[in-house]
Amino acid sequence: MGIVDLRSDVVTQPTEAMRKAMYEAELGDDVSGEDPTVNRLEELAAQMLGKEASLLVSSGTQGNLLSVLASCRSGDEIIVGDKAHIYWNEAAGVAALGGIQIQLVPNSDQGSINANDIEAAIRPQDNLHYPRTTLVCLENTQNLCNGGALTASETESLCTVAHANGIPVHLDGARIFNAAISLETPVQELLMDVDNVTFCLSKGLSAPVGSVLCGSREFIAEARRWRKMVGGGMRQAGIIAAAGLVALETMIDRLAVDHANTRYLSLGLSQIDGIIHERAVVQTNILFFKINHDLGTNKEFIQRMREENIKINASFDRIRMVVHRHITVDAVESTLQAVSKVIRDMR
């Protein structure tokens, strides 16, 4: 059946409907606010997520960066979870480009954060020895924490602490629609307490490129200025936005299929001797496991799986698999057969 690529849901290819929409997209100069397709996408995204305005950006990393730059000044500090994508996977952009310090608080195995830890991490505003705490950043779903989904009540409790101290909250919602589907909660309910949010079009929603940053009109105006400053102003960006519109209109509900296939994969992995995997933590389309250390290294396991036409990655000391629309039941079964074979061969 060819290559099974479980490295990430960013490997998804656009649907035929997306390709057609891109070809036929009505275009203009987005930097001047004149691309009608971009404008439609931004209006739809803001409406769907319950925010006043939104901004098309090239990636989730750029969306998170713009949110921090629009909310903070050089020398300020932001609070993030110790497993946050902003901290681990965004090339220290907030420090390099914004001169902004990160303070870490613990994430649970499923990505939640204790509100008391947020409270304790906020710097006293009247002490000149400390940086100013100017933003709290959350993540939903939480990539490194087993794809865990934060509930609306969990998010509310953290936002309550931040807002009581006059601090806005940004949500890295790269896979927020996965959270909404998994929790069977409207996405607006998950976001009603956060000030702004970035979500990705190019992961499980299968668009080829792009993310959207949503928030208040004032915030988005400032983020738009920062987007231009970091070189993110795109001209006839409606070609990208057209695929994003199709993604929002047609690809959200089907995420439930990815979650079901992930549970099927999780069940199979848990039954293979030599694989260490906890099924109970699997909520969405991401799972992790370890191999018995007596069998060999992750590098060896990944290479052997590649020889079986299965692409996977390691994340720290674990193997990560991410299910998406190209991963069918047959692909899951092929993956499980390959894992069993590789484990036997490594004994």
CA distance 133 to 311: 41
Q: What kind and span of H or E run contains 286?
A: strand 286-291
Q: Is the dihedral of CA 143, 191, 149, 151 positive or negative?
A: positive
For the stretch 227-261, pLDDT in tens is 999 999 999 999 999 999 999 999 999 999 999 99
Q: pLDDT tens digit string along 290-326? A: 999 899 999 999 999 999 999 999 988 999 999 999 9
Where residue 201 falls among pLDDT bands split at 50, 70, 90?
Answer: very high
User: How many alpha carbons lie under 13 Å from residue 68 in its C-beta half-sphere?
Assistant: 32
Homologous superfamily, domain 254-346: Aspartate Aminotransferase, domain 1 (3.90.1150.10)
Provide DSSP, 124-168: PTT-TTSPPEEEEEEESSBTTTTTB---HHHHHHHHHHHHHTT--
Query: What pLDDT score does 347 carry?
Result: 86
Confidence of residue 272 (pLDDT cuts 50, 70, 90): very high
Span 61-67, average pLDDT: 98
For the chain, the domains span 14-249, 254-346
Q: For the residues 49-55, what does the mean pLDDT come to?
A: 98
Average pLDDT estimate for 1-8: 93
With residue 227 as reference, give the H or E element that holds it.
Answer: helix 217-229
Q: Nearest-CA neighbor of 231 among 64, 347, 106, 58?
A: 58
* pLDDT at residue 12 is higher than 90: yes
Mean pLDDT of the chain: 97
Nearest to 155 by CA among 125, 120, 179, 133: 179
Instruction: Give me the pLDDT at residue 330, please.
Output: 97
Burial of 49 (0-12, 13-18, 19+ CB in 10 A): buried
Dihedral Cα 117, 121, 122, 127, nearest 10 deg: 150
Quick one: what percent of the chain has pLDDT higher than 70?
A: 100
Confidence of residue 116 (pLDDT cuts 50, 70, 90): very high
Gap between the Cα atoms of 303 and 309, Å rounded: 10
Handedness of CA 5, 6, 8, 10 (dihedral sign): positive
Residue range 93-101: average pLDDT? 97
- Let me know: does 219 contact 196? Beta carbons within 8 Å: yes
Evaluate if residue 1 carries a pLDDT over 80.
Answer: no
Per the CB < 8 A criterion, the answer to whether 89 and 316 are in contact is: no
The pLDDT score that the predictor gives to residue 320 is 98
Q: What percent of the chain has pLDDT over 90?
A: 97
For the segment 22-34, the average pLDDT, to the nearest whole number, is 97
Query: Rounded CA gap, 294 and 85, in Å?
Result: 31
Give the CATH number of domain 14-249. 3.40.640.10
